[in-house]
Structure 1
Amino acid sequence: MKSWSPYVLLAIVAFALDQWIKYLVETSLAFQEKIDLVPFLALFRTFNTGIAFSMFSSLGDTGLVVIATLVVAVVLYLATVTPRSHVFARTGFALIIGGAIGNLVDRVTYGHVIDYILFHTQTWSFAVFNLADACISVGAVLIVFDELIGWRREAKPESPDA
């Protein structure tokens, strides 16, 4: 268990920070009021009844809770079979688990996910998201990066003296 301690802690911190920020947003920010922080970044409290980009909202709360629970279970399994040397992947799995559980708690508690980060310009805006979504995305990038490092190590040609 010792080798998993920092990753478990990271997942817990990601989850706790996500829930704390969502609490602050819910208690301090009016629904769909945009507060510009810098010219391209704003706070904008809204709800997401689906998953990424509101996909699968037609499945309803129960279907989305089941999907999220299955995703967490699969990621937990992958994390347990990943070798210790794959630090980027293990970090990525921890971030995904923390973020997925954060959004899962929202869905079970409220029937939707609380989103509040908006990247935008005057003529374009990205989907509104939250810290849990960012953790999931960064975690996925770390896992892909770890896989690319692994492929590169395996693809090195052997020396002629071997």
Structure 2
Amino acid sequence: MNRNLVLFNVLVVVLAVMADQMIKALVVAKMALGEAIELLPFLAIYHARNNGIAFSMFSGMGEVGLAALAGVVLVVVMILWIKTPADRRLTHFGLAIIVGGAIGNLIDRVLLGYVVDYVYFHTPVWAFAIFNLADACITVGAGVILFDEFILQPRRERVRARADRTVD
């Protein structure tokens, strides 16, 4: 990887972690646990604690187990990131926001024993899981990587194949 790409990726990770932790600190400082502030008829800020991982899965594993699991996943993502070719800039960006989100939630898990969640999509008859910016970073990062891998990369390969045929 070239130096500019590394610096950009580190900046993305740091910004994701800082934004996540600042918003969580604000929610914890200004809202009681279980308090909701309705922003729109379908969106609220709702102070919640997640003792599991995504959608409260594995909530029975305990603090240490979940922190260890998150750490292992983070290491695996870092290995994939290091092995990703430098020309796959969009994938690098996706991995950077995933790492930022994972670190943000890991900080909560290690320091608090749970993750602070606060984004709540709902209607009178339906409610989505409560999540946070770190979760959104992880989800969007995964979507960016899938888009790059399954849409953009095949296009790049077709363009290269056409260019190789015209050179021959």
Unaligned runs of 5+ in 2: none
SS of structure 1 residue aligned to 2:87: coil
* Inter-partner Cα distance in structure 2 for 1:158 and 1:115: 48
* Inter-partner Cα distance in structure 1 for 2:132 and 2:124: 21
| Corresponding position of 1:53 | 55
- Tell me which moved more, 11-20 or 26-35: 26-35
1:64 to 63, 66, 85: 66
* Inter-partner Cα distance in structure 2 for 1:61 and 1:3: 35
- 1:39-59 per-residue CA deviation (whole Å, 9 max, x = no partner) reads 111010010000011101111
* Inter-partner Cα distance in structure 2 for 1:107 and 1:146: 31
- Once the 2 structures are TM-superposed, how far is the Cα of residue 130 of structure 1 from its aligned partner? 0.2
| Corresponding position of 1:11 | 13
Task: Return the TM-score normalized by structure 1.
Answer: 0.94
- Once the 2 structures are TM-superposed, how far is the Cα of residue 61 of structure 1 from its aligned partner? 1.0
* Inter-partner Cα distance in structure 1 for 2:136 and 2:14: 15
Unaligned runs of 5+ in 1: none
Superposition RMSD in Å: 1.5
List structure 1 segments (4+ residues) > 2 angstroms apart after TM superposition. 151-162
* Inter-partner Cα distance in structure 1 for 2:135 and 2:162: 41
- Once the 2 structures are TM-superposed, how far is the Cα of residue 137 of structure 1 from its aligned partner? 0.4
- Tell me which moved more, 17-26 or 80-89: 80-89
Q: What amino acid maps onto 2:120 in structure 1?
A: L
Map residues 106-121 of structure 1 onto 2, 5 A cutoff.
106-121=108-123
Identity rate, percent: 48
SS of structure 2 residue aligned to 1:124: coil
- Once the 2 structures are TM-superposed, how far is the Cα of residue 101 of structure 1 from its aligned partner? 0.5
- Once the 2 structures are TM-superposed, how far is the Cα of residue 151 of structure 1 from its aligned partner? 2.7
- Between the two proteins, the alignment pairs up a number of residues equal to 162
- Once the 2 structures are TM-superposed, how far is the Cα of residue 158 of structure 1 from its aligned partner? 4.8
- Once the 2 structures are TM-superposed, how far is the Cα of residue 153 of structure 1 from its aligned partner? 3.0
